[in-house]
Structure 1
Amino acid sequence: MELNLAGRTALVTGASKGIGLATARCLAQEGVNLVLVSRTLADLEAARAEIVGRHNVGVEVHALDLSDSRNVDFLADRHPGIDILVNNAGAIPGGDLDAVTEARWRAAWDLKVFGYVNMCRRFYTEMKTRRRGVIINVIGMGGERMDRAYIAGAAGNAGLMAFTRALGGSAGDDGLRVVGINPGAIATDRLVTLMKTRAKDRFGDENRWEELMKPLPMGRAGKPEEIAVMVAFLASDLSAYTSGTIVTIDGGATHRGSMF
């Protein structure tokens, strides 16, 4: 399937590893020029070297903390003309109401919730002047599958889902599209580290972490590449009538019983 994305430019946040890096690789394969953003310059430089070594695309990197809105302003001023914005930065900690302190809750929301909102605010306005652009918010199934043990994430993701639907519902009037993706359990470094900790607690052996994946749909976690290909499709004109909706990619886990 030809996505006809070659020559466009995408800005991907949280791009140095996991879903963000997989997305960058996938878009580069389609001929998309990239602006990659995360907090760690060394990881970004490694990602850039890998991608330019394989694909004939431009790659620019910025090590920035997007919980600071001044960095959002910097990106918007530095990169007008972005065709595709992929918001993917941020991880909200687990824990129930007593476990997550106000400081941790606010810090996590400053990066993910308000980071997404501020990125959309700046880039939507710029895209609107050209009547061209797609915004894809990578959110998370925690906003659908409410869990008191992930209360900060459940509330934050649910808010981003509502935000994405509200903004995307009328984006077509401005010639734009805004969509969301809710990944389930994806085998990123973060998930593997979490599962190793749980395996050590349960079995006394972190190397048995894959056993904890068996209750998941299909007996495994998803792959970052399985999210990345959906990002590329939603960014393409083949998905030109898709806006204001959330695509859940979790193997059906949202509608199953307990996963772990």
Structure 2
Amino acid sequence: MQLDLAGKTALITGASQGIGRELARVLAAEGCNLHLAARNGAALEEAKAELAEFPVTVTIHPADLSSSEAMEDLDRAAGDYDILMNNAGDIPAGDIEVVTDEAIKRGFDLKVFGYISLARSFWKRRKGRDGVIVNVIGNSGENWDAAYFAGSTGNAALMSFTKALGGRSMNHGIRVVGVNPGPVDTPRMFKIMRRKAIDMLGDESRWAELYDHYPAKRPATAREVADLCAFLASPRAGYISGTIVTIDGGISARGSVI
């Protein structure tokens, strides 16, 4: 499907690996110019080099994004862009006896408050014109998990934020949508799965066994999630706002993490 994204410009956070990096490739193939942001500058350079095959402009922004000031600085540096892909996040896994308040605050500063801060800056810039905010959240916000309670809490907050903002945003020319991936074949997911293997099996090296309980015995691919995000950001999804699209093989529908 032609997504009519050629000539648009997108800012992607968390773009050095996983969903963000694959999303950059999908959007570049559609002719979308890119601003890529993440902490790992070397990985961003690699991503930029990989995208050289596409006739688009790619600008990288290596930075620690775990503060409102950093997000505001990033928005100013990116300039006038059309699409915001909020994707950066590293909320810790573990139960309430393991995860500290300090770890939760660090995770929320990057993902929860980071998403809100960057969305606010984008909103002020694009209000009254066309614009799209895609929040990559996570299905733990709708399928609560005691072994990932911090993620469930933060993601539920971002789901509410997306619906609250997106419910009225089209009055101002902006669409706001959320994507809730379940398990995805990324380095981030491997970290979470190792923690789950400790809690459930007593051995982090047995994390791959947990996939036997997932739909089709596999996680989603980063490309599957990126394709969905690209569609939602495109004019083809021009009447979708204030909603969350879940991509987890049916895990949330059956009401069970595993």
Flag whether TM exceeds 0.5 (same fold). yes
Cα deviation, residue 204, structure 1: 7.1
Counterparts of 1:244 and 1:203, CA distance in 2: 40
Distance 1:231 1:96, change over 3 A: same
Q: SS where residue 135 of structure 1 aligns?
A: strand
Q: SS where residue 214 of structure 1 aligns?
A: helix
Amino acid at match of 1:89: A
* Paired position in structure 2 for 1:20: 20
> Residues 134-193 of structure 1: CA distance to partner in whole angstroms, max 9, x if unpaired?
000000001001122211111110000000000000011001100000000001012235
Identify which of 227, 230, 235 aligns with 2:228: 230
Task: List runs of 5+ in structure 2 lacking aligned partners.
Answer: none
Cα deviation, residue 219, structure 1: 1.4
Please tell me whether residue 126 in structure 1 is matched to residue 125 in structure 2. yes
CA contact (8 A) 1:215 1:259 kept: no
> Residues 196-228 of structure 1: CA distance to partner in whole angstroms, max 9, x if unpaired?
6739x959794x654331210111110000010
* Paired position in structure 1 for 2:137: 139
Query: TM-score normalized by structure 1?
Result: 0.93
Distance 1:190 1:101, change over 3 A: same
Query: TM-score normalized by structure 2?
Result: 0.93
Cα deviation, residue 259, structure 1: 4.4
> Residues 94-114 of structure 1: CA distance to partner in whole angstroms, max 9, x if unpaired?
122222211111111001000
* Paired position in structure 2 for 1:106: 105
Please tell me whether residue 166 in structure 1 is matched to residue 164 in structure 2. yes
| Matched positions, count | 256
Percent pairwise identity: 49
Counterparts of 1:141 and 1:155, CA distance in 2: 11
Amino acid at match of 2:147: A
Counterparts of 1:113 and 1:40, CA distance in 2: 20
Amino acid at match of 2:133: I
Counterparts of 1:100 and 1:196, CA distance in 2: 15
Cα deviation, residue 57, structure 1: 0.7
Task: List runs of 5+ in structure 1 lacking aligned partners.
Answer: none
* Paired position in structure 2 for 1:59: 58
Counterparts of 2:174 and 2:32, CA distance in 1: 18
Counterparts of 1:47 and 1:29, CA distance in 2: 14
Q: CA RMSD in A?
A: 1.9
CA contact (8 A) 2:33 2:56 kept: yes
CA contact (8 A) 1:80 1:126 kept: no
* Paired position in structure 1 for 2:35: 35
